[in-house]
Structure 1
Amino acid sequence: MSWRRHISGCVFSLFFVVSYFTNKFVLSVLKFTYPTLFQGWQTFIGALLLLLFGKLGWVEMSRITRSAALPWLPASLLFVGNIYAGSRALSHIKMRWMTFISICLMLLSAINLPLYDPQFDNSGYLWAVAHLFCVGAYRVFQVHYKPRDLSDLEIQCINYLFSVLLLAAAAHPTGDLMAAMEFPSLQSYTFHCGCCASALLGFFLLLATVKLKSGISLEHFGIWCFISKVSAVCLSPLVFSMEINAPSLICVLGSHVGEALLVYSEREPQL
């Protein structure tokens, strides 16, 4: 792997960690728990910047036709469910022995973590289950139907635009709109900076992801994702106030060991 690919990977990891930390700051520290508004804002900025960058020729995007966009809308619906649920989850299962062991480790860790987590929140884990379903269904749709006439950026632009429309329509029925108007930190400079940073960082993370995936194999991309996740986990206690005990720490470590085995098992055969 050339030094340029290492730089792309480091940039991806940097945006990954900073983006997720910013989102956690707004959602957890500032307690702005209104996903139709927060993620609607993020997808709106993402779509706006993608269209602007495409118009200026800074990213490669062609005109998205209706015939190309319509078949992808079911996946966009799953994308909305993915970001609405909010957590990361497992990928599809391949039944090789090391992959099976890795999936078992991650599954056992996920099952046991709610039992020992000192910060346990029942609704949080229910949304994690919803995220698991949406991520899995989105991956299946992506594998079995990947439009040849749409690039990754164009697909993401469709996801963003669909998300903005759906989340905007859901903001009032869910009560998020009225509750957000009474949010204590609504006029806070820190709140506005955090929301702007989360949208911009999410967009640049998208660009870094597409750039990294275009220059390396999926196996190496999985390695960089794993490195980024481990970096985020290791740095989290230094940035955020967290309660943790030995059993929950073992669950987190077991999950990452399982993912490490998954990444290793999916490497290309070395000749």
Structure 2
Amino acid sequence: MLKMRLERPRMIGVFCLLFILTNCINKYVLSVLKFTFPTIFQGWQTLVGALVLHLLMLSGKLDFSLKTLNSLYICIFREDVALWLPSMFFFVGTIYAGSRALASLPVPVFFAFQNLASVISLTVDVILKSKVNVWSYIFNMALVVSSIGVAKTDPQNNTDGYFWVCYHVLSLGAYSTYQKLIKGRLKLRPAGRLYCNYVYSMILFAPASYFLGEALEASKFPHLYFAKFYICCGLSGILGVFLSLVVIQLEPLLESSGISLDFLSSAAKIITSVLSLVIFPFTLTVPYVSWLAINLLASLFSEELLPLAHPSNSNVVENT
């Protein structure tokens, strides 16, 4: 127990650091370097993720609970992987749309709309007749109202960015909802799910980059021969997969602490949003900042009160 208490703060610190670095580096590549080729960028990230996970599995550091995982052909046709297949599809939509949205929108705005996935989760809980704390209704309604306020007061008003962030939220909500529907039936461990997500995404993005013409356009990218581009892309892929692995390890450590992973993610989003104001150019107005602050603060409690009141109904939405 003492070891767990000592390990928990360290893991929380590592999670926050990886979360901040991963999102800031992604934003830098997508908006500052303007590498707006999501099939290539996400294809690279998922390739790195799959390789890292596979190496960890071969070294015995991870157990995917699939003895035949060395053979991708057999893995794909296993019953558990087949059951997880819709989640892989939603995962692709989530990271593709997220990449398009983050390239166009400021980091705080991206997070503010991403928080709407909590509203989808709450709606599903109501439909499934799960017990929901009344405060969760209030804070989730605050998320909806503040998101509308952010869009209405945005001085830049990037329509394309808002379209893709809405697609990102719907995909993230579908990903979370499907996990609830198959809860108890899926025996595939979290690391195995992550591995299958990466492999499936990599298989889809590779031909898509060619057929969508992004591979040809990327060959003309002005920063293609700059070291900073490759360093950032490499860090993005490596930090991203380790962030996901930390989430997997951190979840059981938080179960007995009264702190949900959603709460921790919301806190990390606030820290990252504040730092992004210093790192990236951002047009500010008083109403705009006010709505963003309401949204990010409301997200701290939109799901945190649920697991405290009803531990059996606690839900953790994975970060992508």
Give me the TM-score of the superposition, normalised by structure 1. 0.94
- CA shift for structure 1 position 204: 1.1
Q: Would you say the 8 A contact 1:105–1:257 is kept in 2?
A: no
Question: Is the aligned partner of 1:209 residue 2:212?
Answer: no
Choose which of 174, 190, 194 in structure 1 pairs with 2:228: 190
CA distance in structure 1 between the aligned counterparts of 2:156 and 2:195, rounded to whole angstroms: 36
Letter in 2 for 1:199: G
Instruction: Indicate conservation of the 8 Å contact 1:102/1:262, yes or no.
Output: yes
Question: Which has the higher relative contact order, 1 or 2, with Cα contacts under 8 A spaced 6 or more apart?
Answer: 1
CA contact (8 A) 1:99 1:262 kept: yes
Q: Which residue of 2 aligns with 1:133?
A: 170
Matches within 5 A, 1:1-271: 2-63=5-66, 64=69, 65=75, 66-67=77-78, 68-86=80-98, 88-89=114-115, 90-91=117-118, 92-93=121-122, 94=125, 96-146=133-183, 147-217=185-255, 219-269=259-309
Please tell me whether the aligned partners of residues 45 and 237 of structure 2 are also in contact (alpha carbons under 8 angstroms): yes
2:88 and 2:197 in contact (8 A); partners too: yes
Shift of 1:266: 1.8
Maintained 8 Å contact 2:267/2:300 = no
1:78: how far off? 0.4
Per the TM alignment, residue 219 of structure 1 is displaced from its structure 2 partner at its CA by: 4.4
The amino acid that maps onto 1:49 is V
Letter of the structure 2 residue corresponding to residue 85 of structure 1: A
1:100 deviates by: 1.2
CA–CA distance in 1 between the matches of 2:276 and 2:143?
20
Distance 1:213 1:159 in 2: 19
Counterpart Cα distance in 2 of 1:79 and 1:246: 35
* Structure 1 contact 219–266 (Cα < 8 Å) conserved: no
Structure 1 alignment gaps of length 5 or more: none
- Residue 245 (structure 1) shift: 1.2
Is contact 1:102-1:257 (8 Å) kept?
no
> 1:105-156 deviations in whole A, cap 9, x for unaligned?
1111211212221232111100011111111111111111145421100001
CA distance in structure 2 between the aligned counterparts of 1:78 and 1:107, rounded to whole angstroms: 22
Q: Give secondary structure in 2 for the equivalent of 1:73.
A: helix
Looking at structure 1, the residues matched to 9 and 164 of structure 2 have their Cα atoms a distance apart, in angstroms, of 34
Secondary structure of the corresponding residue to residue 262 of structure 1:
coil
Q: Distance in 1 between matches of 2:21 and 2:156?
A: 23
Separation of aligned partners in 2, 1:210 and 1:267: 18
Partner of 2:316: none
Deviation readout 1:16-45 (Å, 9 max, x if unpaired): 011100100100111111100000100010
Q: How far apart are 1:101 and its partner, in Å?
A: 1.3
More moved, 166-175 vs 188-197: 166-175
Q: Which amino acid aligns with 2:291?
A: C
Deviates more, 1:10-19 or 1:139-148: 139-148
What's the C-alpha RMSD, in Å, of the aligned pairs?
A: 1.8
Distance 1:49 1:199 in 2: 10
- Structure 1 segments (4+ residues) deviating >6 Å: none
Q: What letter matches 2:61 in structure 1?
A: W
User: TM (normalized to structure 2)?
Assistant: 0.80
Deviations 1:164-221 (A, max 9, x none): 0111121122221121111111111111111001001101101111110122228432
Q: For 1:229 and 1:85, locate their aligned partners in 2 and report how far apart those are by CA, in whole Å.
A: 18
